[in-house]
Structure 1
Amino acid sequence: MSIELDAPDGIGEVRPGADLAAMIATALELRDGDVVVVTSKVVSKAEGRLTDGTRDDALPGETVRVVARRGPVTIVENRLGLVMAAAGIDNSNVAPGTVALLPADPDGSARAIRALLRESTGRNVAVVISDTSGRAWRLGQTDIAIGVAGLAPLEPFAGRVDAYGNPLAVTEPAVADEIAAAAELAGGKLAGRPLVRVRGLDDRVLPPGEDGPGARSVVRPREQDLFSLGAREAVVAAVAGDDPGAFGPPATAHEVGAALARCGLHVGPTDSGLVVDTAHPAAVTRAALVARAHGWVIEPGSPTSRLSIPVAANEEP
């Protein structure tokens, strides 16, 4: 198998109102089964998603919630559901004093470009809109897909077996992200090549009229996110009594008991949950915070308090 990347030079500056589909059709010779990767920056420019000021000025309007803040770095969930530094607002490759916001609807933009390319060239291609993103556990950045049309962004392997006969349960390659990252190698951050044609993935391109679920389908639901809050922010959320959904589904009695014991509390089991020694007034507060962070509730008593999972949390959805 071989995959070919082609990133043409000479695209030039993209202005608000630019016809990106026409620009792509002129810059790239397309065949059925090609994947066209377009950087979010040029999509934002074409759609007029530029604003005067700094990233800090634009950040509140693009933020749904703050995930973590350390010094000058603010990681937030933006209105697209993406967790990114500064909501993905960028001040590179734009005029000084100006910042670029991410496209308002990247999946919609990808679908529109795909349809226009089909109309103007007769070719059935997929479109990926890419953006640069950091990784929680690794240094550096890589490009990811924030908009996808004509391509399944994930390839579930659940139910398959490997060469040794081992069943696969959670393997799910992020195909669209992998394509975006590969395209960045050809396009480059500073090379002025915002369009990349990826050839050799014909079997992954969907038929005309089938755009697929889009990149939004790749965003992990908050209740499944083990790191939906930074370490400091999680402490504040527990103390403030924020939405317990931030801490995920209720933990097991064993997990809660271990956490309470680690905090210096004496815990014992009961038929309906746990009982903790709260004879000391401070122990009630400590136990309540630990319980809240684990999806449990505490019913203070003297000299012990009972902890249990809320009834609503046990109900079938």
Structure 2
Amino acid sequence: MNVTAVPDIPEVRAGDDLAGMITERVDLRPDDIVCVASTVVSKAEGRAYDLDDFPAGPRATEIANRLGDLAGEEKDPRFAQAVLEESTDLLMDAPFLLTETRFGHVCVNAGIDRSNVPDNDILLLPKRPSESLSLIHISERA
């Protein structure tokens, strides 16, 4: 088995053609398996939001305060609100938020990413991951 990263991928933006970006840079064979990180799918789908889009309700404020007390640092209640809105169930709320997503995945913080976006932004998981992957259609371009 060989694992190869796709070279020279530019910063992915909303509306980008991921399949095209990949097939332009890698010579794929019919039996190749392509793994695509949810982060780039989310970026291409325009799933980056400003935290100000998630005004904190009382429950989110309570959760952020409790997590802040445990961590010894202030936690943003808007982030807790985004996690609540992206989850169907909050399985655990301390010492971190363990959630179930709309598509049945159990993950921390509803899979919301703060590390691959600028400043006050957050990156939500793809809305329908299985559908997103079928829309990429890499196999038809190889």
Fold shared per TM-score above 0.5: yes
Tell me whether 1:74 sits opposite 2:97 in the alignment: yes
Shift of 1:120: 2.9
For 1:85 and 1:118, the matched residues in 2 are separated by 31
Distance 1:59 1:22, change over 3 A: same
For 1:84 and 1:16, the matched residues in 2 are separated by 24
For 1:24 and 1:9, the matched residues in 2 are separated by 9
For 1:70 and 1:28, the matched residues in 2 are separated by 43
Matches within 5 A, 1:36-185: 36-53=34-51, 55-71=79-95, 73-114=96-137, 117-121=138-142
Shift of 1:119: 3.4
For 2:6 and 2:89, the matched residues in 1 are separated by 38
Note if contact 2:6-2:22 (Cα within 8 Å) is conserved in structure 1: no
Supply the AA of the counterpart residue of 1:39: A
Note if contact 1:55-1:91 (Cα within 8 Å) is conserved in structure 2: no
Q: Which ranges in structure 2 are unaligned for 5 or more consecutive residues? A: 52-77
For 1:55 and 1:7, the matched residues in 2 are separated by 32
Note if contact 1:44-1:101 (Cα within 8 Å) is conserved in structure 2: yes
Q: 2:30 aligns with which of 12, 29, 32?
A: 32
Sequence identity, in percent?
40
Shift of 1:61: 1.2
Matches within 5 A, 1:224-243: none
Supply the AA of the counterpart residue of 1:103: P
Shift of 1:57: 3.4
Q: Which ranges in structure 1 are unaligned for 5 or more consecutive residues? A: 122-317
Shift of 1:9: 3.0
What per-residue deviation string (whole Å, max 9, x for no partner) do you get for residues 112-171 of structure 1? 213xx34333xxxxxxxxxxxxxxxxxxxxxxxxxxxxxxxxxxxxxxxxxxxxxxxxxx
Q: TM-score, normalised by structure 1?
A: 0.35
For 1:83 and 1:25, the matched residues in 2 are separated by 32
Q: Aligned with 1:59: secondary structure?
A: helix
Shift of 1:100: 0.5
Note if contact 2:84-2:90 (Cα within 8 Å) is conserved in structure 1: no
- Max Rg structure: 1
What per-residue deviation string (whole Å, max 9, x for no partner) do you get for residues 78-122 of structure 1? 1111111111011011111100100011111111213xx34333x
For 2:140 and 2:99, the matched residues in 1 are separated by 38
For 1:81 and 1:92, the matched residues in 2 are separated by 23
Note if contact 1:16-1:45 (Cα within 8 Å) is conserved in structure 2: yes
Supply the AA of the counterpart residue of 2:27: E
Q: TM-score, normalised by structure 2?
A: 0.76
For 2:118 and 2:48, the matched residues in 1 are separated by 10
Cα root mean square deviation, aligned: 1.3
Supply the AA of the counterpart residue of 1:61: E
For 1:37 and 1:98, the matched residues in 2 are separated by 25
Number of residue pairs aligned between Structure 1 and Structure 2: 116
For 1:8 and 1:36, the matched residues in 2 are separated by 10
Supply the AA of the counterpart residue of 1:119: E
More strand by share: 1
Q: Aligned with 1:43: secondary structure?
A: helix
Paired position in structure 1 for 2:4: 6
